[in-house]
Structure 1
Amino acid sequence: MTTDMPARMLRLLSLLQTRREWSGHELAERLGVTGRTVRRDIDRLRALGYPVEATTGHAGGYRLASGTAMPPLLLDDDEAVAVAVALRTAAGGLGGIEETALRALVKLEQVLPARLRGQVGALQEATSTIAWESRGPRVDAATLTVLAAACRDHEIVTFDYTTRDGTPARRRVEPHSLVASGGLWYLLAYDTDRDDWRIYRLDRLTQPSPTGRRVPPRALPDPGPDPAAYVAAKIATAPVRYRAVAIVHASADSIRARTWALADRIRPLDENTCTVDCSADTLPRIAQTLAALDADYTLDADPAVLTHLRTTARRTLHAAGSGSRD
């Protein structure tokens, strides 16, 4: 018999989540209590937000239904490991839900027992995913969760970082937000050594280490307070190695729908024409952005960009010409 009321309610909730419907008699037997106690515990679960419905029939019973809010779930060990691995995979690059998956992953890993964290890590290391439509470098999910937790807790972190010109550096920052854009993840943080706000690409960041020191949150300067808008504005005006601006014969809305170029870099000229700033630090990324336009365009670009595009075009034409013919 379960005499500890909180433990009994957790056991009751677990039973309700494992089967579609239970009779009151079955629940009483499983818990070693009376039917009256079961009814009282059901009322307590309802008061906590769990939508437990009473069912009609020969003996009547109970079932856990969908509700207007999401109450806490109970997961066994295998379920917790499976959900954590799935969330890590989604957070690392599954288009459209990365940030949502990351928030859920941080909550789950915060309460995950140490014995299960090891299982999650081992399974993640042994699992590979084919990213058929990856639009950017994949980011280690462990790095994401460490930084997301630091953003939430306003905890200073240190990490190794490779700058745009390939120089290794060590950074110490107050994390503010993580932003996903254009197939890339960015960390928006206040750099304590430089006494200024900085944006870091997570694919260039390794070995993030929480310091245990928490600080009051800082307010973003203009154009704050939206982190995504702040990052977009800074990236759009940041210096890049190669310049390339296209005048595209398509509407700005249609280009936004089929390219990962930043929205701030797509500007309408009229209903059927827009400019797209495809400038980047690497030549292949510029070529990928231009290919995704899927429309006619004219290009104003650095000589290195034009040379790279001509070389790529010659290789493509040669490959197409050497293909088998009917």
Structure 2
Amino acid sequence: MMSSWPDKYVIGLTGNIATGKSVVRKMLEHLGVYGIDADALAHRAIMKGAPGYQATIDAFGRWILGDDDQIDRSKLGKIVFTADVAIENSGTFEETWNQVSKAWKSIPKVAVDAPPTEKSAAPPSPKQLTVKRATPNQAGQIAVFITEQSSGKRRMTRTDVMEAFGEKAFLLLLAGSDLVGILGWQVENLITRVDDVILKENVLSAQNIKLLVETIEKASSELQSEAALLFLPPVIAKLEKVWSSLGYQSLAVEDLSVRAWQNAAEESILPGMTLFFKRLREHRILRPMV
């Protein structure tokens, strides 16, 4: 428990490479934890212009630099990860989620002072659209929705979605209790990526897209994200006026002005998708924030 915030806990995850630390961190985030990826921050700290750049070159030599004078992490990896290590990695995402959920429930709940009483907002009408963050418990529902909306072209199982939860989060667009849209997203290395936007045709409107996007941008701001990359299918990408009104522009990957953004886009974009970009922070974060 933290001394400065008596109702908060710090949960530290450590372990060898490829043992599932990132998966567990993502699962904790689905339960409401604010995640900090120290590995991603370390990568940012050794970028050109950041405080760890020259120190890393001094330690290993200029041979670790790529053609763009950035540190080539694959070259560093040949030094760091050459030891033969046997890692047991045969568990399932379902088993991991059950372990994380059990551990989460075991954390003592701390009583906090109730906030001042305010006039309650009117409850949403039965079919009013709302956005809710999904948990892995809803993996089956998400799998059915994706399969149905793709007319079977993209068949998903509960297991497939459970695995996806190890990499990203899902927002659910609900009409009452009915699922009418999903958005899959993640923030890694201070970059927001949205690679699943699926809406039923009867809710495909500027108002509903704005509702989802504003939810993503608010969460991204809390995570200090500096840019948003949206990878959209044709049926949603064609609504260019909607995206423009929200501050997004359609770009080719090579037109992104920052190499880290290009790398993220190259990793995520699929054939047939259109990239939409929006800068969320005026200045990039290369040094610790104080």
TM-score with structure 2 length normalisation?
A: 0.28
Q: Which has the higher strand share?
A: 1
Q: Which has the higher contact order (CA 8 A, sep 6+)?
A: 2
